[in-house]
Amino acid sequence: MRFENPGALWLLLVLPFLFLGLGLWGWRAKKEIAETFQLNLRRLKRSQVEKYITAGVLMALLVGALALPKLPFSSLRAPKRTGEIALLVDVSGSMAAQKDLDSPNRLERAKPILYEIIDRMEELGEVGISLHGFSSIARSLVPFVGKGDYPYLKESVKKVLDIYATPGEGTSLGRPILNVAEKFSPDAKVKLIILISDGEPFIGITRGMREVERGWVEEALKKAREVGIKVITVGIGEREGAKIPVHDIKGEFTGEYAILQGVDYISYLEEDGLKEIASQTGGRYFFEKNREGLIEFIEENLSLATTEGVAEEVRGYRHIAHWFLLGSLPIWVIFARRYLLIK
């Protein structure tokens, strides 16, 4: 046992003399009273001794707490996780789709997922995370940063990640993966892309997985497998479709919706492409409303920082002053009931 304030223990040498003096003085006064009123001295003597023994134990515990004792301990710390994660988020116009005007759009629903990932990675260890927005191409919004810069990363998600934050025409799933694949460190043991999108390709004025987009996707899958990138996909959107409200420069709804070929454009969650990309790279697909296991899957795919994943032993000291204070509580109750309360 060690003490952070060992000087307080000197009081233990003073207490016996203090209680001896007080005891003798108190006993003399009680003895005079007992002789005057013809009381039982033997009973008074026993009560006096019990009182000062109780008070002595109580004071010793309080002095012990004041000395701030602590005990050595050792425990096993879980191995830290390392690797690099690229957050690749769809910021094309379809991510502005809303089920209704009172509901958040798809991009706003994606942000809590990003916060969950960042918060969990902060607990795991030294994981590098970058942030990219994409439409038909990907653009780096925050380069790979360590957990010391995670607060900046979260602020960027909040304030920088927005619809059309990345220029481009339409939406591609293949080209953005190719763009981000070059951003990882060559020596990174684990490379993960977390792609969040409604999965709806839109090349030029043509929606759907056309021949050009199919070529980009095939090239992206080949590249990911070559350099060891796993792509985890998260689908954000409405399977039944949703409209895209049009806002003015002040951010106010104009009363109109995005139009395609003369009718309101309905944007759908298209999961097939997202599922294919994930399965072909060793990742996994998650739907926004049923993403249980997402954080765990990311964690499982990160490297262990320690050799062969062995947990390291942590040694330190645990403060136990509260034990002394808790131990003194019942003694306080006994002392107060017997000697302080008026009967």
In a structure prediction context, what are the per-residue pLDDT tens digits for the chain, which is 343 residues long? 788 888 877 877 777 766 666 656 665 666 666 566 555 556 666 766 777 677 778 778 887 788 888 888 766 555 677 899 999 999 999 999 999 999 999 999 999 999 999 999 998 878 999 999 999 999 999 999 999 999 999 999 999 999 999 988 789 999 999 999 999 998 898 999 999 999 998 865 566 557 888 999 999 999 999 999 999 999 999 999 999 999 888 888 999 999 988 889 999 999 999 999 999 999 999 999 989 999 999 999 997 544 444 445 556 778 888 887 888 888 777 777 766 654 4
DSSP 270-328: -HHHHHHHHHHTT--EEETTB-TTHHHHHHHTSEESSGGGPPEEEEEEEE-HHHHHHHH
pLDDT number for residue 304: 55
pLDDT the model gives residue 206: 60
Per-residue model confidence (pLDDT) at position 20? 64
Q: Which domains are present in the chain? A: 2-74+315-340 (no CATH), 81-308 (3.40.50.410)
Q: Which pLDDT belongs to residue 119?
A: 95
CA torsion angle 218 222 228 232 (round to 10):
10
Q: How many CB atoms lie within 10 A of CB 211?
A: 7
Provide the pLDDT for residue 326: 85
- CA–CA distances in Å: residue 317 to residues 67, 331, 343: 15, 27, 46
Q: What is the pTM of this model?
A: 0.67
| Structure confidence at residue 82 (pLDDT) | 85
Dihedral sign, CA of 300, 84, 152, 138? negative
Helix (H) or strand (E) holding 243: strand 242-243
